[in-house]
Amino acid sequence: MASTPVWRRGRFLFLLLLPIPAFFLSLLIGAYPLPPDVALNIFFSKLLYPIFQYPSTPVQESVIFDLRLPRILLAMLGGIALSVSGASLQSLFKNPLVDSYILGVSAGAGLGASIGIAFLPDVPGSPQILSFAFGFLAFLISYYVAKSKGETPVVSLVLAGVIVTALFSAGLSIIKFFTDVNRMAGVVYWLMGSLAITGWSAVLSSAPFIIVSFVLIYLMRWRLNVLSMGDEEAKSLGVNVQRDRLIILIATTLMVSAFISVAGVIGWVGLVIPHTIRMFIGTPDNRLIVPMSACLGSVFLLLADDIARSVTSFELPVGVITTLIGAPFFLYLLKRRGGNVWK
């Protein structure tokens, strides 16, 4: 880091500080009319109480602390989970088109949530619990199928993930077929991804998994550089390839499953953000890519959610917004790089 060019350090600092203005901007956005100065004064009066106090109504405080704040925090945590998992897996698999969903996590989580919504509507938290359980189960099946003679080849793991994704997607189609029409809307809406029903329970249930997994990957980010060199070279440098790969895979699966279980399926974040970071700071070094992906990913999903809840009189699923932004941008990136996004 000491030899990092000045221009790169400047961009590093810019990305590091970017979540702060994004946080306060999002705090001002919402359907309930609340002037910016009032919203900020209410927030800081609680944060700095009793040093600073501001007269406010219970409704205004509830809008800030019960509606907007948990939604903002979950969006930022989700952006971290999706972007960091994408950056880690792209480096681990040496494939620029890989993200967390290649392991079957998305399809598994979708099947679990659909079972909860369709058949267990009276059981509190059933969609979230089953989504997390099935998402992690999908990863375990992929890993078990790919493992052979104590080794887990990357190609076998990707192929196993594709097959598991197909099987769980077929199961999801069956669930849809037998689901009551009135409950089908809930399944479809969940699969599009939304933060509309976010509350403190969603934040508190997912935050521990996301934070612990992120810290683990952050501490192992230099090992990602070694693992991306190939198994033989990594082993020659004294790295336990199987152990480190499994730890990173479990961490990425936990963080993504935890977020999907409360917000639904939100795509393109884990694919677009790491490539944007590599292009912006001009290096494939995961010591920088991992923390910067976390910063930009949190901002991207947060602003996408701001658009989803403010662009029309009704709320759009945030997964639609991330796709509308991410897909064209990735096409632009592909065209700009002449078909090679792995730079």
Q: Is the pLDDT of residue 129 over 70?
A: yes
Instruction: Summarize the confidence of residues 50-66 as an average pLDDT.
Output: 86
- At 73-124, the pLDDT tens digits run 999 999 999 999 999 998 888 777 777 777 888 889 889 988 988 888 888 8
SS3 148: strand
Query: What pLDDT, on the 0 to 100 scale, is given for residue 342?
Result: 55
Tell whether omega for the bond before 50 is within 30 degrees of 0, i.e. cis: yes
Q: Is the pLDDT of residue 58 over 80?
A: yes
Q: Is the pLDDT of residue 337 over 70?
A: no
Q: State the Cα–Cα distance between residues 168 and 164, nearest whole angstrom.
A: 6
Query: What is the reported pTM?
Result: 0.90
Q: Is the pLDDT of residue 3 over 70?
A: no
Q: Is the pLDDT of residue 2 over 60?
A: no
Can you say whether residue 263 is alpha, beta or left, with left for phi > 0 and alpha for psi between -120 and 50 degrees?
Answer: alpha
Please name the residue ranges forming H helices in 120-180.
126-146, 154-178
Helices (H) and strands (E) in the chain, counts: 16, 0
Question: Integer distance in angstroms from the first to the last C-alpha of the chain?
Answer: 20
Nearest to 285 by CA among 343, 246, 330, 211: 343
Q: State the Cα–Cα distance between residues 137 and 152, nearest whole angstrom.
A: 17
Q: State the Cα–Cα distance between residues 106 and 324, nearest whole angstrom.
A: 19
Please report which confidence band the pLDDT of residue 67 belongs to, taking 50, 70 and 90 as the band edges: very high
Q: State the Cα–Cα distance between residues 112 and 138, nearest whole angstrom.
A: 10
Instruction: Summarize the confidence of residues 147-172 as an average pLDDT.
Output: 86
- For 210, the token pair is 């996301």
Structural domains in the chain? 6-336 (1.10.3470.10)
Please report which confidence band the pLDDT of residue 185 belongs to, taking 50, 70 and 90 as the band edges: confident
- For 52, the token pair is 């600073």
Q: State the Cα–Cα distance between residues 251 and 278, nearest whole angstrom.
A: 22
Query: What pLDDT, on the 0 to 100 scale, is given for residue 308?
Result: 92
Highest mean pLDDT of the ranges 12-26, 38-52, 181-195: 12-26
Query: What pLDDT, on the 0 to 100 scale, is given for residue 255?
Result: 92
Query: What pLDDT, on the 0 to 100 scale, is given for residue 300?
Result: 96
In terms of Cβ atoms closer than 10 Å to its own Cβ (0-12, 13-18, 19+), residue 169 is middle
CB 139 within 8 A of CB 253: yes
Q: State the Cα–Cα distance between residues 232 and 243, nearest whole angstrom.
A: 14
Q: Is the pLDDT of residue 261 over 80?
A: yes
